[in-house]
Structure formats: C-alpha cells, structure tokens
Amino acid sequence: MKQILYFILLLSSILSTEVVAQNASIFPKGEKSPNVHHVGNVWLNELSAPDSTFNYGIAVATMERGARLYWHKHPGGQILLITDGIGYYQERGKPKQTVRKGEVIKCQPDVEHWHGATSNSGVTYLATSPAQKGRTIWLEKVTDEEYSGSK
C-alpha cells in the first residue's frame, strides 16, 4: 500500500511539472506596450530586428483577454505563428477567424487586417514581416461591434 501511495505521489509530481513546462513561454514576455495602436494589455518583445543581412524582423506579442490591435497593414506582408492561447484574425471584408496554438496565418502584402485575443483567452504569437518595403501602417480602431461580431 505504501509503495502505491509513493508511486501516485511521484506520478502526480511528474505530471504537474510537465503541465507547468508546457505553459511556460520559450521567450520572455517583453515590455508592456503603450496603448497607442491597440486596446487592452499587450506585451512586445522584438527578438530579432531587421538588418543588412536579414531583412525581416521577428517579435513575440502577448495579449491579455480582450486585447486587440487596430486595423493595420504591412507593405511586405506578415506571418503570425500562434504559440499559445486563442485569438482572432480578420481581414477587411472577410469573416473573423478564430486562431489557436499551432496555427500559422499568412497575411498578404497591403491587406488590411487586425488580430487579438478572445474575450475568454489571451493569445501569444510570433510575428515576422519583411522590412524592406516599410513598416506597419496603422489604421482605425477595431470597433466593439467588429470585435464581438455583432456588426
């Protein structure tokens, strides 16, 4: 009986360690961004800035529940790699999509879009964009109706 109890305690310890390890981020959360082009709390960590050899940047963004970026576009396009949580992605004139950990979003150059966390879950993603054609062009705020899908 004692051996079974020790085995159960050992097994639960191993399983709880694995759950914690799976939820830990590979990259630091970064700095909290000022609410200039987004609603809610967003942290940004620029992992690799573009330079003369690599003309694309890579950043990790962490968004709390309900946080979302304004409408925007990227002259060179953008790729989002969802690493944790559940979020939204929407291109202008198209239905809003729910995105989850493990999904890849490819946004074509100059396509107006927004992305953010759902009201029930935060979301974290890696973002990469080629820099040679210019930086993000920010547009208007995503309305509450657009976010909630009631429009």
Residues 48-87 have pLDDT tens digits of 998 888 888 999 999 999 999 999 999 999 999 999 999 9
Structure tokens at 96: 């809003």
Average pLDDT, the chain: 84
Report the sign of the C-alpha dihedral through residues 62, 63, 64, 65, in that order: negative
What would the mean pLDDT of 37-41 be, rounded to a whole number?
Answer: 95
Answer yes or no: is 129 within a domain: yes
What would the mean pLDDT of 3-22 be, rounded to a whole number?
Answer: 39
Structure tokens at 82: 């969802």
- Closest C-alpha among 91, 92, 32, 25 to residue 63: 32
Residues contacting residue 80 through CB under 8 Å, at least 6 positions apart: 89, 99, 104, 105, 107, 115, 125, 126, 127
Residues 107-132 have pLDDT tens digits of 999 999 999 999 999 999 999 999 87
Answer yes or no: is 3 within a domain: no
> Domain range for residue 144?
28-148
Between CA 123 and CA 68 the distance in angstroms is 10
What percentage of the chain reaches a pLDDT higher than 70? 82
What would the mean pLDDT of 26-30 be, rounded to a whole number?
Answer: 85
3-class SS at 53? Answer: coil
Number of domains in the chain: 1
Q: How confident is the model at residue 24 (pLDDT cuts 50, 70, 90)?
A: low
| Strand boundaries in 13-77, DSSP class E | 31-32, 38-39, 42-48, 56-63, 68-69, 72-73
CATH number at residue 72: 2.60.120.10
Q: How confident is the model at residue 140 (pLDDT cuts 50, 70, 90)?
A: very high
